[in-house]
Amino acid sequence: MAKQEQVVIVGGGVIGLLTAFNLAPHVERVILLDRSSLGQESSWAGGGIVSPLYPWRYSPAVTALAHWSQDFYPQLAERLFVSTGVDPEVHTTGLYWLDLEDEAEALAWAQRENRPLSAVDISAAHDHVPVLGPGFSRAIYMADVANVRNPRLVKSLKAALLALPNVTIHEQCEVSGFIRQGERVLGVESASGPILGDQVVLTAGAWSGDLLNTLGLTLPVEPVKGQMILYKCEADFLSSMVLAKGRYAIPRRDGHILIGSTLEHEGFDKTPTENALESLKASAVELIPALADAEVVGHWAGLRPGSPEGIPYIGAVPGVGGLWLNCGHYRNGLVLAPASCQLFADVLLGREPVIDPAPYAPAGRI
């Protein structure tokens, strides 16, 4: 790509922010647009586990991105912290999966993929996590799983971008459609008026499908609601992440404990519900009985960009020149962001890709 090109990125979640961060050194100008405030949708709402919840249940396409990202996250966080003073808090605690139905498949996957996941005696889990509830009989454990404090990651990426002279950010700037000339996209129609770009990148999460619809294209990305609750405990209260029956507990460094998450198909409705609150509290107390006496200090909902098999769309839109996708990460946007955005930059800039781009290419999938 010629250095003089202007790239317009639609969507300011972690995927959009990191896409901008990776492209900025290599293009003349980056303009990043978000319909509300940066990172306030799925990126802000998620738990931030730097692993798919059940990595062995995913295709090799997701696994490849996850492994690259897991290995890269610590250096990304360090680089952002040094340059911005905002620590994304990549916190390596390990993760226990309890009473898994497909434990044998998980262990076979770990051996095949050479990941440090192994069965442990339930008494060892209780020794390591003394607050763990009594109702579990089996555990597997992976020691190197981290979580990232996603609101801090958003804040750090925003600060890093604001420091770059060739990056412009427009918040509260909703995009309604694309400016076309023949078979090519020349820019976007936005709340601030038309914004032109040599390349337009759609990183709009759950809204990406609706935007592509304006071009008559069908992208199977839809909003999937997830609700979370937050407790405040002592900093050393929970020593590891734990997961059972599809629900997880994530400790932050300062003692905040996240419990998540629901999976709801409710369109773009982000209203937290009493039913979900009670369900999440019940899961919290089953995992960690002492939380029955802890205060819920937060309850919110976010919209994940649901996609078939959770495989994101990364690459050029076929038949529409100048339009690119980096979206559809479903439950794993934070997990897959470093690899997805590195791969995207490689493809756009014509470099040797870090991962085979074929499984993620929009061609043949939309």
Give the orientation angle of helix 150-162 with respect to helix 60-84, to 10 degrees: 60
Cα dihedral 196, 197, 198, 203 sign: negative
Cα 24 to Cα 17, 86, 169, 238: the distances in Å are 11, 20, 12, 39
Per-position DSSP letters for 45-99, written without gaps between them? HS--BSS-SSGGGS-HHHHHHHHHHHHHHHHHHHHHHHHHS-----EE--EEEES
6-46+152-221+309-360: which CATH topology? FAD/NAD(P)-binding domain (3.50.50)
Q: In what order do the strands lie in the sheet with 6-10?
A: 167-170, 29-33, 6-10, 199-202, 323-327, 313-316
Q: State the pLDDT at residue 219.
A: 96
160 touches 88 (CB < 8 A): no
CA separation for the pair 147, 197 (Å, rounded): 35
Q: In what order do the strands lie in the sheet with 193-196?
A: 175-181, 184-190, 193-196
Average pLDDT of 205-222?
A: 96
* Backbone conformation region of residue 193, classed left if phi is above 0, alpha if psi is from -120 to 50, else beta: left
The angle subtended at Cα 344 by Cα 90 and Cα 188, nearest 5°, is: 110
- What ranges do the domains of the chain cover? 6-46+152-221+309-360, 95-143+222-306
CA separation for the pair 79, 355 (Å, rounded): 22
SS3 171: coil
Q: Rounded to two decimals, what is the model's pTM?
A: 0.96
Average pLDDT of 134-155?
A: 96
Look up tokens 């999938």; give the residue: 365
- How confident is the prediction for the chain on average, in pLDDT? 96
CATH class, 95-143+222-306 region: alpha beta
CA separation for the pair 256, 84 (Å, rounded): 23
Residue 346 pLDDT exceeds 70: yes
Q: State the pLDDT at residue 3.
A: 58
Beta strands 256-260 and 247-251 are antiparallel
13 touches 333 (CB < 8 A): yes
Average pLDDT of 281-296?
A: 97
DSSP class of 247: E
**How many other CB atoms sit within 10 Å of the CB of residue 321?**
14
Average pLDDT of 49-66?
A: 96
CA separation for the pair 358, 141 (Å, rounded): 32
199 touches 324 (CB < 8 A): yes
pLDDT range class, residue 4, cuts 50, 70, 90: low
Question: Residue 325: beta bridge partners?
Answer: 202, 315
Please name the helix (run of DSSP H) or strand (run of DSSP E) that holds residue 225, with its range, or none. Answer: strand 222-232
Cα 149 to Cα 77, 103, 194: the distances in Å are 10, 28, 35
Q: State the pLDDT at residue 169.
A: 98
DSSP alpha helix (H) spans, the chain: 14-23, 42-45, 60-84, 103-113, 122-128, 150-162, 208-213, 274-287, 333-349
Per-position DSSP letters for 248-264, written without gaps between them? EEEE-TTSEEEEE---B
211 touches 202 (CB < 8 A): yes
Residue 1 pLDDT exceeds 90: no
List pLDDT tens digits, range 222-235: 999 999 999 999 99
